Amino acid sequence: MTQLTLLARFAEEISWMARYMERADNLARLLEVNEVFARDRRGEHNWDAVIDLNADRELFEKQHGATSPSKTAYFYMLDRDNPNSIISSVRSARENARSLRPLISTEMWTHLNVFFNELQAISATPDNIPNISRFCERVRTACQAHTGITEGTFYRDQGWYFYQLGKYLERADQTTRLVDVKYHTLLPRPDDVGSILDLSQWNALLRSAAGYHAYRRVHPRGIDPIGVAEFLVLNNRFPRSVRYCIGEVSNLLSQLIYTFQLNRGDRVAEAVDVIHKRLEDTDMQSIIDYGMHEFLDAIQLDLIAVAKAMDVAYFGQVEEDDVAA
Amino acid sequence: MGDIIEGSMGLSGYDSQGFFCEIVSAANKGMIPQAVLKRLQGLDAVELMARSDAASRELYNLGITFTVYSDRMMIDRILPFDVLPRVIGADEWVDVERGVTQRVETLNKFIWDIYHDQKCIKDGIIPADLVLGNKNYRPQMEGVSVPGGTYVHVCGIDLVRDGDGIFRVLEDNARTPSGVSYVIENRHMMQRAFPDLVDAFGIRSVDDYGPRLLKAMLDVAPEHVGDPQVCLLSPGAYNSAYFEHIFLAREMGIPLVEGRDLVVENDRVYMRTTEGNEEVHCLYRRIDDDFLDPLAFREDSLLGVPGIFDAYRKGNVTLANAIGTGVADDKAVYAYMPRLIEYYLGEEAILPNVPTHICREPDGLKYTLDHLEELVVKPVGESGGYGILIGPRASKAELAEFRAKLRDDPANFISQPMIDLSVCPTLLEGRIVPRHVDLRPFCVTGKSSWVLPGGLTRVALREGSLVVNSSQGGGSKDTWVLMD
């Protein structure tokens, strides 16, 4: 009787639990930075970018009509009807955790359970929201506690690797979106002759990715758009850069294939190699020549291909071609 | 009159109101040591309350909960936990253990018989239609042999203590009895919140349950398998007892699977893993017969595993409990248990039944109708305390309504005299008050039977209430079986 087998469903659920927590963490950072730093030239909050970044405009307008700072913040913080809100992500993470309780540590479950119950106890409406910064800080702290508890208590069998895979795939996805949406809106337009680069906006972008301090260590002398984009996409030491995340995904997958003998992962590894190559064989100037949006879009499609390959290789899903046949 | 304790903050003014008290009466009759009573008398109710609140919060945060639905929302509730233990003396426990084992042995012989020779029917011990017409009788099981002849691997037998302090069997739970996780978690909770109290006495451990259950499963796995894979089959995270499923899978050290994780190929059962399919040989299943296999039982079941019944019939997988044990849960079959014990074992029942009138029999119906206001009437098929009439507490209108129901469908009911259920000191709103309790010991059977020392003590928290079910405002207590 072996204890090392992992149910396909558990592998899937644990990678999703990690994804949802990573998503909540990223969203909290984004909202907080938007609240504190990102103001337009008249000093107003620009919340539209957050909606576009998450591709939620249609859903938002259906539920709330015209955007307003309070409504948008509510929509992302505590709106249970928005599947991408922080509370929905934490709820999904906790539902996965509930099902995963045979596998995860009691502390992981207890923490998530308490965290969700806390969020659920906050009373808020679209027009009456709690303090955004304090809320986001609480969410970030809880997400970091989750990461720490997981690191400190989760047994390092296959489950751990699927957890980490989910986390890094989600993080790569989030950073890609962030750069994609922000890069173009922040670049000075060709006709803005003589306008000064709005540094605070680039700072805010870095802060959204928790990269401001790290960036300043690498580039002590200043901030420039290409440098920021390069840092977030190609840097191989910053833990939220796309390249770093894909490197981790690649290592984790090798562990599953070689240490745990999960040979079905070969197809996943091929899909990861595609992204790896895309990131290794390039530099920032080539990306800009190719088109930043086009490049990031291609990475997003690659990430989707990796997720699909995992569904088939590990999560017991039938390949789409087989279904048709 | 009742036993009155004086002179301490906690138990001062406690009056068991004429009922048998599991602590005070038991100590006064020498069934448990006086020292236990003295120790509990010394407790301070305010201090107890503070520690009890902390314990409840911990249960909630740890997710030691059952799930209820309300307004389409899923709500986790803890089973209210009372910190004052129920104590059973060493000698008395020996009798309970023997009585429970005797009953389980009879149940296994009875169920084998009804799916094979049906001698108990031919010999006129029990009416044929009570067995064959029972909605839990599974004709598919006729002639199917199960390893070791064991059908009821896990049995929960509900006991109550009457006004004379005698344990009586209230009902048998031979399908998928739940609650054992609370027994073990309640003990852990007591050890954390009241280490001083727990350490003061020699209490028999309950930590053995998981390994014992695993051993029983290995005992009954298909014989041709060298290293059997045992799994716990759960309906899933939305089942009210999901916590218990997790708990048991962990205590047994086995994978927790759902129907969608299993697949049957060539009459063998496999679970889907990250490495592909792996064969499963024994399932401790917490899904009812009806939902187990849409090909053999309910077609609309989404929880089950298509084809698993054929794998079972061919002996490639063992299911515990076996299919078709629900006949024994029936409250009408229950009435025949003392005769069945005598029939199969040639012994008298160690644990007596509550005297039961079977309304399907003309005499039983007449007696029930004539004495309705003194009796407790129960529908035979229901569980969870639903649909019960408590005669002495019912209004005239309720009695009349029940009379009509009885005349309409007498076979659906049994009646019993009102039992003066024993009480146990219980902490409520800072006071210690008597509340009615029952006891569900758990018996695990593979090749032989083992009874967990103690069991689940459920307590009816509402004043005067006799209904202990968790779905109807019941709580639980730690159950201490003292060492010799």
Q: What pLDDT shows up at residue B66?
A: 67
Q: pLDDT (tens digit, 9 = 90+) per residue, B205-240?
A: 999 999 999 999 999 999 989 899 999 999 998 888
Amino acid at B65: T
Q: What pLDDT shows up at residue B137?
A: 95
Q: Calculate what percentage of chain A has a pLDDT beyond 70.
A: 90
User: What string of DSSP letters covers B421-484?
Assistant: --EEEEEETTEEEEEEEEEE-EEEESSSEEE-SS-EEEEE-STT-----GGGTEEEEEEEEBP-
| Peptide linkage before A251 cis (omega within 30 of 0) | no
| Residue B87 located in a structural domain | yes
Residues A126 and A179 in one domain: no
Q: Is B285 helix (H, G, I), strand (E, B) or coil?
A: strand
- Phi then psi dihedrals of residue A79, to 5 deg: -75, 110
pLDDT band at A265 (very low <50, low <70, confident <90, very high): confident
pLDDT band at A44 (very low <50, low <70, confident <90, very high): low
Residues A127 and A224 in one domain: no
Residues B76 and B189 in one domain: yes
- Using the predicted structure, report yes or no on whether residue A195 has a pLDDT greater than 60: no
Residues of chain B with Cβ-Cβ distance to A118 below 8 Å are none
Residues A34 and A147 in one domain: yes
Nearest residue of B to residue A9 by CA position? B261
Identify which of A92, A44, A85 has the alpha carbon closest to the alpha carbon of residue A68.
A44
Residues of chain B with Cβ-Cβ distance to A116 below 8 Å are none
Number of separate domains in chain B:
2
| Residue A301 located in a structural domain | yes
Residues of chain B with Cβ-Cβ distance to A316 below 8 Å are 272
| Residue B111 located in a structural domain | no
| Residue A181 located in a structural domain | yes
pLDDT band at A43 (very low <50, low <70, confident <90, very high): low
Give the CATH number of the domain where residue B402 resides.
3.30.1490.270
Residues A162 and A111 in one domain: no
Q: Are B430 and B379 in contact (CB under 8 A)?
A: no
For this complex, say whether ipTM is above 0.85: no
Identify which of B158, B172, B154 has the alpha carbon closest to the alpha carbon of residue B210.
B154
| Residue A6 located in a structural domain | no
A 10 A CB-CB count for B427 gives: 19
CB–CB of A102 and B236 under 8 A?
no
Question: Mean pLDDT across the stretch A200-214?
Answer: 84
Residues 295-314 of A with CB under 8 A from B: 314
| Weakest-pLDDT range from B95-104, B196-205, B253-262 | B196-205
Domain boundary among A125, A155, A185: A155
Residue A131's Cβ-count burial label (10 Å; 0-12, 13-18, 19+) is exposed
| Weakest-pLDDT range from B144-148, B169-173, B469-473 | B469-473
| Residue B119 located in a structural domain | no
| Weakest-pLDDT range from A77-81, A135-139, A257-261, B311-315 | A257-261
| Residue B88 located in a structural domain | yes
Domain boundary among A155, A177, A211: A155
Distance CA B221, CA B211 (A): 15
Residues A24 and A129 in one domain: yes
Tell whether B250 lies on the interface with A, counting CB pairs under 8 A: yes
Domain boundary among A135, A155, A175: A155
Distance CA B102, CA B99 (A): 5
pLDDT band at B1 (very low <50, low <70, confident <90, very high): very low
Residues A125 and A222 in one domain: no
Q: What pLDDT shows up at residue B270?
A: 97
Residues B31 and B88 in one domain: yes
**Owning domain of residue B71:** 4-92+181-204+436-481
Q: Is B85 helix (H, G, I), strand (E, B) or coil?
A: strand
Residues A237 and A107 in one domain: no
Question: Mean pLDDT across the stretch A133-162?
Answer: 95
Residues A278 and A174 in one domain: yes
Q: What pLDDT shows up at residue A325?
A: 39
| Residue A8 located in a structural domain | no
Question: Mean pLDDT across the stretch A67-82?
Answer: 91
CB-facing half-sphere around the CA of A67: CA atoms within 13 A: 17
- Using the predicted structure, report yes or no on whether residue B242 has a pLDDT greater than 60: yes
- Using the predicted structure, report yes or no on whether residue A78 has a pLDDT greater than 90: yes
Domain boundary among B417, B444, B469: B417
Q: Which two tokens stand for residue A161?
A: 């690797």
Q: What pLDDT shows up at residue A2?
A: 45
Q: Are B73 and B413 in contact (CB under 8 A)?
A: no
| Residue A312 located in a structural domain | yes
Of the candidates B237, B257, B261, which has its C-beta nearest A98's C-beta?
Answer: B237
Q: Is B415 helix (H, G, I), strand (E, B) or coil?
A: strand
Residues A208 and A323 in one domain: yes
Residues A94 and A193 in one domain: no
Q: pLDDT (tens digit, 9 = 90+) per residue, B64-98?
A: 666 665 545 566 667 788 989 999 999 999 999 99
| Residue A261 located in a structural domain | yes
Tell whether A4 lies on the interface with B, counting CB pairs under 8 A: no
pLDDT band at A323 (very low <50, low <70, confident <90, very high): very low
The verdict on pTM exceeding 0.90 is no
Q: What pLDDT shows up at residue A38?
A: 57
Question: Mean pLDDT across the stretch A166-189?
Answer: 85
Residues B13 and B79 in one domain: yes
Q: pLDDT (tens digit, 9 = 90+) per residue, B425-476?
A: 999 888 899 999 999 999 999 999 999 999 999 999 888 887 777 666 789 9
Residues A145 and A228 in one domain: no
Nearest residue of A to residue B278 by CA position? A5
Of the candidates A7, A98, A316, which has its C-beta nearest B257's C-beta?
Answer: A7
Q: How many CB pairs under 8 A join A and B?
A: 65
Question: Mean pLDDT across the stretch B235-260?
Answer: 91
Residues B370 and B473 in one domain: no
Number of separate domains in chain A:
2
**Owning domain of residue A192:** 156-325
- Phi then psi dihedrals of residue B126, to 5 deg: -140, 140
| Residue A3 located in a structural domain | no
| Weakest-pLDDT range from A196-210, B289-303, B391-405 | A196-210
| Weakest-pLDDT range from B49-63, B176-190, B401-415 | B49-63
- Using the predicted structure, report yes or no on whether residue B41 has a pLDDT greater than 50: yes
Tell whether A262 lies on the interface with B, counting CB pairs under 8 A: yes
Residues B11 and B83 in one domain: yes
Q: What pLDDT shows up at residue A41?
A: 54
| Residue B260 located in a structural domain | no
Q: What pLDDT shows up at residue A37?
A: 65
pLDDT band at A231 (very low <50, low <70, confident <90, very high): very high
| Residue A29 located in a structural domain | yes
pLDDT band at B44 (very low <50, low <70, confident <90, very high): confident
| Residue B55 located in a structural domain | yes
Residues A166 and A129 in one domain: no
Distance CA B332, CA A58 (A): 61
Tell whether A113 lies on the interface with B, counting CB pairs under 8 A: yes
Residues B413 and B452 in one domain: no
